[in-house]
Copies of this chain bind each other. A is one copy, B any other.
Amino acid sequence: MALGEFELIERYFKRPPRRGDTVLGVGDDAALLRVPPGQLLVAAVDTLVEGRHFLDDAPADSVGHQSLAVNLSDLAAMGAEPAWALLSLSLPEIDEAWLTSFAAGIQTLAARSGIEIVGGDTVRGPLVVTVTVMGFVPDDQALRRSGARPGETLYISGAPGEAAAGLALLRADRTTDPDDVLVRRHRYAEPRIDLGRALRGRASAAMDVSDGLLGDLAKLCAASGVGARVELEKLPLSRALLARSSRHDAERYVLRGGDDYELLFTLPQQTDAAILAGLQALCPVTRIGVIERGSGVLCTRGGVAVDVPGSGYDHFA
């Protein structure tokens, strides 16, 4: 059921074809796509709801950016090459200025990431944006959550927590400077596609942080059948975070904040310094702990166990 008589997807989201492997894009009942030989298809979907994932006065281009970025982050976490996206938009009304800005936000990131929007659906309803992303990864080189082994080293990319801090700033004061570093990290954080690609064949496990470092690390541990020890004093607390919040709050944002699309990953202990330098050349990566036998996440400060609520660590095990 299209929105009015407008073919919104064609009108706002169809672009001249760029990818040779898109056989048929927007405009038919479905898209026809060619996955290269020797590659697996990688597919994920994420939904953003107004008021929950973005504020009701969020710039439309940031909503467009976020809706694709959160999905690209899933591809990055698998080490995949981005290729195609399907866009489903539930909209309360046809607001041409909003749609134009939303389209600019999603298409700018799409072009930069090698993504082509090949189809979609528009319906009238509450403002809900769902993007499906597809990409590919060489057979047997996909990064999974399940490969972490005791003795391996745990890393986090970039500056986790900044997006959550930016959202908190906006919730407290909608007039916060839109050019504030933290606000921009909430609205326009960049998925770590290059890092994911570089981790292929190197990381034993990887996932993106979407529900907070602690909670997501607990999932990685569960999938791998291992435990993890996080050294709190090693957590990267960015200058921007520390400029706007106490050390305690900054740490809380890092441990509990999501949606800045950072990657959590494990490397064998004997990983070459040259490999690490190669990763660092793409973006900062910080060693924050180790993988251990057992289950759950143990946090330490100065070598002493610290009780962090929600860490999933079973102190009675």
Contact = CB atoms under 8 A, between A and B. Distances in A.
A123 B32 contact: no
Contact of A145 (B23, B28, B44, B211): B28
A interface majority secondary structure: strand
Contacts of A178: none
* Assembly stoichiometry (copies): 2
A116 to B, nearest CB: 12
Given A30-B78, A130-B88, A45 B1 contact: no
A45 B137 contact: no
B123 A49 contact: yes
Interface in A183-217: 207-208, 210-211
Contacts of A31: 42-44
Contact of A24 (B52, B77, B144): B144
A130 B45 contact: yes
Contact of A258 (B1, B40, B120): B1
Q: Which of A30, A44, A144 lies at the interface centre, i.e. has the most chain B CB atoms within 10 A of its CB?
A: A30
A2 interface: yes
A45 B86 contact: yes
B86 A132 contact: yes
A80 interface: yes
A16 interface: no
A8 B27 CA distance: 33
A128 B134 CA distance: 22
Contacts of A132: 43, 45, 86, 132
A223 B30 contact: no
A88 B210 contact: no
29 contacts: A1-B53, A1-B259, A24-B142, A29-B73, A29-B74, A29-B207, A30-B43, A30-B44, A30-B77, A30-B80, A30-B133, A31-B43, A32-B40, A32-B41, A32-B142, A33-B40, A37-B37, A43-B134, A44-B86, A47-B121, A47-B123, A47-B130, A49-B123, A49-B124, A53-B123, A86-B132, A90-B128, A126-B128, A130-B130
